Structure 1
Amino acid sequence: MMRRKLAALLLCLLLVFQLSPVPSGAAETVYFTAVNKNVLTLSDDTMPFWSGGYLYVPSTIFTGVGRDLGVSYYPNIARQTVLLYVDKTVYSSLVFDLNKDYAIDNEGNLYFQKPIQRGGVIFLPISLIARCFGLLYSTVEVDRGYLVWVRNPDMDMEERYFADAAKSRMDYEYNQYLRNQSAEEDIAPEETEPSTVTGQRIYLCVEAADPKRVKSLLDILDRYDAHAAFYCTEAFLREGGDLLRRMTATGQAIGLAVDAAADRPVTEQLETGNRLLSQAASVKTRLAWIENAGEESVSAAEAAGFCPLDPDLDRAAYPLSSTGAADTLLQRVTSRGGEVTVWLGDSANAAGLGTFLSAAEAADDRCLAMTETVS
């Protein structure tokens, strides 16, 4: 009698679990992602998948705090390419073209494994990346699916041991994943609020050569809570350590200013600049302004992993040093519409920049820090 009651109870519990609603949009088998010791957020948008016999992972694993695999990631939206590279004793890189079915490394070798774009996320074949950059990856079967674990070679831990240790975190991410799925289903289309973002996105780019002038420009940018990109000469990089660290702390973009007409190759100048920048502020950059640039020097810089600036407006010959100059610049920017990059050279001063920022603020325009995806 007691056994029949227990059996009935177990059957009822089983039916309850089987009949519990699961969000219709949730995947039946999920792929968790972990980088080194971190289990990442579980989302349909960034979930790894198999295609053509290759395992694809989101390119986002190479960005973000706590996900440092030692591989830098640079997408170029204009060129529809993705660059992965490492800066060690020997430079190594992989370039994926979204319009081609192969990747190419810095030695010209072709690998017929293409990138795949789903929504706004680019996915890359992890086997090729691991082989080229000396990483490790594993696919471990876990509750509800699989764990894709990408890591550096010094992560000395058995796959199953790591999966067991990460179980509680995966449980948490899975529960959050289900909640997000339910929340998305509950939101009716009419409840979605339209975007309230207005105005233009303006990327001001200046040459950083004179420390006194650079400091005054930084003061004005701080006053208006605005950002710009400072392309630094080698001389400035050697003596402007405090200002470089201030730029980094306040979110200003830092680039390197070099001259193709100099007696040293552009790539050598850029490497020297990055070494000086790293010594001063513990950061590196891929942004570059090449004075007297020709097709050859630009191609050499790009092949070395740098992103030469190609501004929409070159205003270096028109000093941003007065109210009239600021008004003219705003008119030029407004006439183009949308997203605009502006090269100011070394012509801007605090008065002209302040007037421009005030006018841009009144027009709901935003002055942002240059990024490698914009330049």
Structure 2
Amino acid sequence: MRRKLLAALFCAALMLQLAVPAGAAGSVYFTAVNKNVLKLSDATMPFWSGGYLYVPSSIFTGANRDLQVGVTVTSSGGGTTLLLYGGGTEFQTLSFDLSKDFAVDKNGNMYFQKAIRRGGVTFLPISLVARVFDLVYTVIEVSRGYLVWVRTHSADMSERIFADAASYQMESRYSQYLKEQGQGDASSGEESTGGAAQTTSGQRVYLCLEAADGSAVSALLDALDQYGSQAAFYCTVDFLEREGALLRRMTATGQAVGILADAAAGSTVAEQLAAGNAALEAATCGRTRLARLENVSDQTAAEVEQMGYVCLWEDLDRSIYPLSNSSAAEVLARRVGERSGSVSVWLGDGATAAGLRAFLTGLRQSGDRCLALTETT
């Protein structure tokens, strides 16, 4: 299926990007332990290798109680062997020998994930350490790149809440990081061309959203009206049949209307498109050729296009990252800015009015425009 192939290619490209040093990718990896963001430096920045995420072993030596996760690390043999010990309800150990490609726990179990030494710093695979010592870790996409958050279960909370709360710490760490590299202060906008990517001035952004809930769509329309912007709303058949007033408002304010058809639904894709256009025509005296297809095969997609529909194959799929607040808006702006030319973005049903306003504010400040997708765009 075309969408599965695109998803696979996207994941492959993402893993390739994560394997490249942060400076080359134009983004950084922050590290947070419990509720504290650590100093940002190239020497201790997390990285991916062999499909595993590596963090510096130094995060397990925190003397500060706020940085303690119940795991201690010691070295022997001139630093060639590291032993981690501690844990929650049950004492555990995990030994890494830098000359070997595996680790051993207290029971003699072998794990084929090795320690890696770079520039005098030893890095450990966080997935293995977290599993053995019952820790929690997450990789969160943030405005400057990614945040690797390691914590105990007692310090756990919503990822997005923590990322928002830690945004000031990350900006402070990032500013200091740039100063130490001689790249100016990020807060003053004095970054060099090697710094974080910014949205290209004059860029055209085509936001595409799912319309299923009337009250949510009404709030999004209010935000678009406030900024004089347009977007494309792909509506479920149920929405098209019951939200005539909102459909008329969309067409009157220059928003684009498409039909969202799901092959996994009870009726066929062709039947959903026909029913959707019938409902749209009854409400607005107009029809649409814009379609968003879910769970379809290549053959079905080709048949729909042969019927005269223009299917949405977005440049950027952000449906799993809700555009719900200013932090999410900053991340979206960076991802859009990393692409040249016009960009179509699929947001799904995760956008809120607050998140959309924050994103549109950034577009306005950058001189970019948010436009409605059309059949010829």
Q: Under TM normalisation by the shorter chain, which class is it?
A: 0.3 to 0.5
Name the TM-score, length of structure 2 as normaliser: 0.46
Structure with greater Cα Rg: 1
Name the TM-score, length of structure 1 as normaliser: 0.47
